[in-house]
Amino acid sequence: MKNTKFIVSPGGTLSGSIRVPGDKSISHRSIMLGSIADGVTRVSGFLEGEDSLATLKAFKALGVNIEGPENGNVSIHGVGLHGLKANNEALDLGNSGTSMRLMSGLLSAQKFETTLAGDSSLNQRPMKRVIDPLTQMGATIVSEDNGTAPLNIKPAGQINAIDYQLPMASAQVKSCILLAGLYASGTTTVTEPAPTRDHTERMLRGFGCEVITEKNVISLKGGQSLTATDIDVPSDISSATFFIVGAAIAKDSDIILQHVGMNPTRIGIVNIMRAMGASIEISNEKTIGGEPVADLHIVHRPLKGIHIPTDQVPLAIDEFPAIFIAAACAEGETVLTGAEELRVKESDRIQVMADGLNILGIDAESQFDGIKIQGGQLTQGEVDSHGDHRIAMSFAMAALRAQGEITINNCDNVQTSFPSFVHLAKSSGLIIREMSSE
């Protein structure tokens, strides 16, 4: 652990034209599907962050020949649906919930045993949500008593298709079941309470699988093989978010974000910020490998507080730490409800954000499933990200509108999703310094 701190001076404006790194969700899936496909999958724009690299390393350990990443290019020599090999040691997935939940589905269906482990944050996150449906499918998974990792996945016997009603809106759980469903006899069906990111379904189709989506019901027949394909990963809208919010709150800002993934299940940030009064222009729209992308042009404009529509919550699930900063800079009150999932992310994002905003002079009150924030003047002070990458980057942007310096502790995990954040933020106009003590 390096123990990285961000020290961000007040003021600054964001400007220029930048491209943030590749989408994390799509990067993970490119390795997983490329590994079990027949043939060589070539990926460009792969996110070289710790989370997606944890997935890449894990599949190498499972016997897949993977070249790269080099400048975002990765070549995966797929081993086919049944070609993965046992690895004697536990696979270390670091901080990455996506790796653990999706891989538990895929590995539950293999004829060998695997153990999946993570860092102290990941080992506290709920895994019963994947263990329950996988057990119903015939898998055997031994967890810690409270349903947390490490997960010991026993060699699979017969994997059966299920018809599963998701108890919460979770793309990770949906994807986990679909990946296990590839190995099941019969058709696996997942019903979602609300739409969640559909990258797994889109990418499976790109690999030649038939996946049927009818309203909120997704189904897939087991035994389908995957054919290698090329994948061009768009920029991550979740990383673009820090610049969307930064430019929206900072006076005189004017920034273009290039080639951002605009999948309709991910664009809650654009809808919510526009409802708050932000100026976001979308141009150059195209579809690349089944995923929509566009350039976003954001200029500063005063924001107002809103009641965030609950149907936007799953579509902006990773963006709330940054949205709370926008709310702190808006005129009036912002209210979020129906977002209890935020409490089980890389940190309890409701509490950690409320605590940080309070330290910075903002009236923010946490509630069991959301938060109430009164717009006001951000002051200065020292906040803790609790090792949560998105909280660290959100408080960094808050300095654009603060009265004094903001110090953010525990920023190492920015490396999980956005290793070039400090460099890009600095070159766009944020007055940020990074300090590490080994």
C-beta of 175 vs 415, nearer to ligand S3P: 175
Q: Tell me which of 41, 172, 263, 394 binds ligand S3P, using CB under 6 A.
A: 172
Binding string to ligand S3P for residues 312 to 331, with x set by CB under 6 A, is what?
A: -----xx-------------
Backbone dihedral angles phi then psi of residue 374, each to the nearest 5 degrees: -95, 125
Q: Tell me which of 35, 104, 108, 175 binds ligand S3P, using CB under 6 A.
A: 175
Binding string to ligand S3P for residues 197 to 236, with x set by CB under 6 A, is what?
A: x---------------------------------------
Name the minimum Å distance from CB 315 to ligand S3P: 11
Backbone dihedral angles phi then psi of residue 219, each to the nearest 5 degrees: -140, 155
> Which range binds ligand S3P by CB under 6 A, 6-14, 167-175, 269-277, 401-409?
167-175
Encode burial over 382-413: b for 16+ CB neighbours within 10 A, e otherwise.
Answer: ebbbbbbbbbbbbbbbbbbbbeeebbbbbbbb
Beta-carbon contacts of residue 215 (< 8 Å; ≥ 6 apart): none
Q: Say if CB 14 and CB 25 are below 8 A apart.
A: no
Strand partners of residue 378: 402
C-beta of 216 vs 380, nearer to ligand S3P: 216
- The CA dihedral of 228, 234, 235, 240, to the nearest 10 degrees, is -130
- Choose the catalytic residue: 23, 119, 236, 318: 318
C-beta of 25 vs 30, nearer to ligand S3P: 25
Name the minimum Å distance from CB 348 to ligand S3P: 14
* Tokens encoding 42: 């070539």
Name the minimum Å distance from CB 142 to ligand S3P: 22
Beta-carbon contacts of residue 102 (< 8 Å; ≥ 6 apart): 28, 29, 32, 172, 175, 176, 179, 200
DSSP string for residues in 40-57: EEEEES---SHHHHHHHH
114 binds ligand S3P (CB under 6 A): no
413 binds ligand S3P (CB under 6 A): no
Query: Between vectors from CA 259 to CA 254 and to CA 263, what angle results, nearest 5°?
Result: 110
Count of residues engaged in binding ligand S3P, rule: CB under 6 A: 10
Q: Tell me which of 33, 37, 56, 171 binds ligand S3P, using CB under 6 A.
A: 171
> Which range binds ligand S3P by CB under 6 A, 3-11, 59-67, 169-177, 325-333?
169-177
Backbone dihedral angles phi then psi of residue 56, each to the nearest 5 degrees: -60, -45
Q: Tell me which of 4, 41, 104, 170 binds ligand S3P, using CB under 6 A.
A: 170
Give the count of beta carbons closer than 10 Å to the beta carbon of residue 318: 24
* Sign of the dihedral through C-alpha 280, 315, 177, 57: positive
The span from the CA of 44 to the CA of 24, in Å, is 13
Q: Which residues between 335 and 394 bind ligand S3P (CB under 6 A)?
A: 341
Name the minimum Å distance from CB 381 to ligand S3P: 28
> Which range binds ligand S3P by CB under 6 A, 52-60, 165-173, 212-220, 430-438?
165-173
C-beta of 196 vs 428, nearer to ligand S3P: 196
Among 207, 266, 204, smallest CA distance to 234 is for 266
Q: Tell me which of 52, 95, 96, 98 binds ligand S3P, using CB under 6 A.
A: 98
Name the minimum Å distance from CB 309 to ligand S3P: 18
From residue 7, alpha-carbon distances to 15, 200, 319, 411 in Å are: 20, 38, 22, 11
DSSP string for residues in 122-133: GGGS--HHHHHH
Among 103, 148, 109, smallest CA distance to 128 is for 148
Name the minimum Å distance from CB 345 to ligand S3P: 6
Name the minimum Å distance from CB 102 to ligand S3P: 7
Q: Tell me which of 4, 25, 110, 188 binds ligand S3P, using CB under 6 A.
A: 25
**Is 38 one of the annotated active-site residues of the chain?**
no
Catalytic residues: 318
**By the criterion CB under 6 A, which residues form the site for ligand S3P?**
25, 98, 170-172, 175, 197, 317-318, 341
